[in-house]
């Protein structure tokens, strides 16, 4: 498997470290009433068959955290953006 890093180009998967679901978002509030949101954020993960957004670190490359969208069944990669751009896009949405 290869990943097309926005900074480095297409590189072999061994250069990357996977870190799970990128659809979750860290809650903004520290209000104890938001504890359920925090619990979901820290512990609950979907395990979808098919399209999946995933945090991937180019740990042996440019050190950027990326969000890779891939098919969990076929490993086909649909797109790669930096985690930074992913976060910005989410703020707008």
Partner 1 sequence: MTGFRLAKGGLVDRSTALNFQFDGKVFSGLAGDTLASALIANDVHLMGRSFKYHRPRGVISAGSSEPNALVELREGPRKEANTRATMIELYDGLVAKSQNRWPSLDLDVGALNSIVSAMFVAGFYYKTFMWPKSFWEKIYEPIIRKAAGLGVASKEADPDKYEKAYAHCDLMVVGSGPTGLMAALAAARSGARVILADESAALGGSLLNENEEIGGQSGGDWAAGVIAELASMSNVTLMPRTTIFGWYDDNIFGAVERVNDHVLEPSPYEPRQRYWRIMAKRAVMAAGAEERPIVFGGNDVPGVMLAFAMRTYANRYAAAAGKSVVVFTNNNSGYRTARDMKAHGVHVEAIIDSRKESLADASGVRVLRGGMITNVTGGKRVTGVELADHRGISCDAVAMSGGWSPIVNLMYHRGAKPKWDERIAGFVPTNVGEAFVAAGSAAGKMLLSECLADGARAGTLKGKTPAIPKCRDEAFAVTPLWWVKGSAGKAFVDYQNDSTAKDLPLAAQEGYRDIELAKRYTTAGMATDQGKLGNVNAIAILAEATGRTMDQVGTTTFRPYYTPVSFGAIAGPFVGHHFQPVRKTPLHEWAEEQGAVFVETGLWMRSSWFPQKREDWLASASREVLATRERVGLCDVSTLGKIDVQGNDAAEFLNRLYCNTFSTLDVGKARYGLMLREDGIVFDDGTTSRLAADHFLMTTTTANAARVMSHMEFCHQAHWHDLDVQYVSVTEQWAQMAIAGPKARTTLQKIVDGATLDDASFPYLAAKEISILGGMTARLFRISFSGEHAYELAVPADYGNMVARSIMQAGEEFGITPYGIEALSIMRIEKGHVAGGELNGTTTAGDLGLGKMMSSKKDYIGRMMAAREGLMDKNRQSVVGIRPSDARDKIRAGSHLLKKDDAPSMAADQGYISSVAWSPMLNMWLGLALLANGRERHGEVVKIFDGVRNIHMYGVICDPMHYDRENKKLHV
Q: Interface with partner 1 includes 2 (CB under 8 A)?
A: yes
Q: Per CB under 8 A, which of residues 48..67 are in contact with partner 1? A: 55, 57, 59, 63-65
Considering only 47, 49, 50, 75, the residue that binds partner 1 (CB under 8 A) is 75
Query: Are 66 and 82 spatial neighbours (Cβ–Cβ below 8 Å)?
Result: yes
Query: Are 56 and 67 spatial neighbours (Cβ–Cβ below 8 Å)?
Result: yes
Residue 69, binding choice from partner 1, Zn ion, none, Cβ under 5 to 8 Å by partner class: none
Query: Are 51 and 69 spatial neighbours (Cβ–Cβ below 8 Å)?
Result: yes
Binding-residue pattern over the window 24 to 43 for partner 1, x denoting contact by CB under 8 A: --xx--x-x-xx--x--xxx
For the record, the structure tokens of 80 come out as 């790669």
């Amino acid at each position: 498997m290869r990943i097309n890093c926005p900074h480095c180009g297409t590189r072999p998967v061994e250069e990357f470290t996977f870190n799970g679901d990128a659809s979750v978002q860290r809650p903004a509030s520290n209000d104890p009433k938001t504890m359920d949101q925090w619990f979901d954020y820290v512990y609950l993960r979907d395990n979808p068959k098919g399209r999946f957004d995933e945090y991937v670190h180019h740990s042996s490359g440019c050190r950027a955290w990326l969000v890779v969208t891939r098919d969990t069944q076929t490993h086909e990669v649909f797109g790669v953006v930096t985690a930074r751009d992913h976060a910005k896009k989410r703020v707008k949405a």
